[in-house]
Structure 1
Amino acid sequence: MKTITFDKIIPNVFSSQQDIDSEIWNCKAEFEKGKLYLVEAESGKGKSTFCSYILGYRHDYEGTVRFDNAITSEFKVKDWTEIRKKHIAFLFQELRLFPELTAWENVQIKNDITKFKTEKEIKEWFEKLGISDKLESKAGRMSFGQQQRVAMIRALVQPFDFILADEPISHLDDKNSEAMAEIMMNEARRQGAGIIVTSIGKHMELNYDKTYRL
């Protein structure tokens, strides 16, 4: 997958609004593989909706979302399964870790499916993110910031053309934010992938190719 295109997309919830002040909604917005994007949004502007449209979790909109030349509203379940397994990695804002599993188990449950990273590589990420002592800690007993770092590692243990990170550093200090950004950037470069970061405030300080106002 080389491009993600939003072409005149208007969420149904916004369809009655006459003037939508956005650089994505009711516009043509394109995201290219290998480039770095920031999507800035105020609360209530549809950031979670935007993410859901890319991932195929919601289709309540007018307009067209395309992956290359393919119209995503025509995809079947098996198509979305393939997309999420091999083409789009996602760091959920709400993380969606299994609280009863350890940090290590939360990552390995995905890596066991993808067979994408070695244990050594994963443990190096835990070390760089300052949570190597949390490998055997249950996710539900970790701080939200610690869980964010585990969720980022989990997001990276797969092949992808794009990674979508939804408010990835909302609970991190500057040091850990920089460490997480470095790991994400290095892996994206290794795969030649694009990065889409969303934010309603604090965001990774990166050299973005383009910033969209949602």
Structure 2
Amino acid sequence: MNSIELQQTLPAVFAGRDFIVSDVWHQSLQLKRGEAYLIEAASGTGKSSLCSYIYGYRNDYQGIVSFDGKNIRNFSVTDWVEIRKHSISMLFQELRLFTELTAWENIQLKNSLTGYKSKQEIKAWLEMFGIADKWDTPVGKMSFGQQQRVALVRALCQPFDFIFLDEPISHLDEENGRLMSKILVEETDKQGAGIIVTSIGKHLELNYTKILRL
């Protein structure tokens, strides 16, 4: 996948609003593979909804969302399985980890589907993040910042053309935010992938191609 296009896209819940100022909603926008985008937003402007639309998780929007010119409303379940396995990775704001499972078990759920990373590579990332000792710890007993790091590692355990990160460092300190940026850039450079980050203030320090206001 080389591009994601939004054409006059707007959450259905916003349809009754008389005036919307946005670089994303109700615009013609193309997100290109290999580039990095920051989407800045105030709370309640639909950033998490945008991620859900593009991931095919929700379809309560007006307008068109297309991948390489193909309207995603026409995709089958099989199409979405392949897209989520090979083309798009998503780090949701709420993380969607299984709290009763350990850090390793959460990561392995994704990696067992793709076989994309070795156990050694995963351990190296957790060591970089300073949470290697949490390998066998249930996620529910970890801090939210620690969970964010686990969720990123899980998100990187697959091939992708685009990776979306919805407020990925909201609970991280500066050093862990820097490490997340470093790991993310190294992995996306290998794949020639695009990065889309959403933020309501605190965001990953990357060399963004474009900064958009939602």
Per the alignment, residue 210 of structure 2 pairs with: 210
User: 1:143-197, CA deviations, whole angstroms, 9 ceiling, x for partnerless residues?
Assistant: 0000000000000000000000000000000000000111011100101100000
Question: In 2, Cα distance between the equivalents of 1:95 and 1:62?
Answer: 26
Pairwise CA distance, 1:132:
0.8
Quick one: distance in 2 between partners of 1:48 and 1:120?
32
The CA deviation at 1:207 is: 1.1
The answer to whether the aligner puts 1:24 opposite 2:24 as a matched pair is yes
Would you say how many aligned residue pairs link Structure 1 and Structure 2?
A: 214
1:138 aligns to 2:116 (yes or no): no
- 1:176-191 aligned at under 5 Å gives the runs 176-191=176-191
Equivalent residue for 1:91?
A: 91
Q: How does 1:36-55 map to 2 (within 5 A)?
A: 36-55=36-55
SS at match of 1:206: coil
Gaps of 5+ in 1: none
Corresponding residue number in structure 1 for 2:193:
193
Structure 2 match to 1:125: 125
The structural deviation recorded for 1:76 is 1.2
Residue 12 (structure 1) aligns with: 12
- What SS does the corresponding residue of 2:23 show, helix, strand or coil? coil
d(CA) in 2 for partners of 1:65, 1:125: 34
AA partner of residue 9 (structure 1): T
Percent of paired sites with the same residue: 57
Mapped partners of 1:208, 1:18: distance in 2: 31
CA distance in structure 2 between the partners assigned to 1:205 and 1:184 by the alignment: 11
TM-fit CA distance, 1:202: 0.4
Offset of 1:57 from its aligned partner? Answer: 1.0
- Which residue is equivalent to 1:3? 3
Cα distance in structure 2, aligned partners of 1:111 and 1:26: 37
Q: Distance in 2 between matches of 1:96 and 1:23?
A: 28
**TM-score normalised by the chain length of structure 2:** 0.98
Question: Residue 80 of structure 1: CA displacement?
Answer: 1.0
Structure 2 SS opposite 1:182: helix
Q: Which consecutive segments of 4 or more residues in structure 1 shift more than 2 A?
A: none
Q: Specify the code of the residue in structure 2 equivalent to 1:122.
A: I
Task: State the alpha-carbon separation in 1 of the partners of residues 64 and 204 from structure 2.
Answer: 29
Pairwise CA distance, 1:100: 1.0
Q: Distance in 2 between matches of 1:163 and 1:146?
A: 20
**What TM-score does the superposition give when structure 1 sets the normalisation length?**
0.98
CA-based RMSD? 0.7
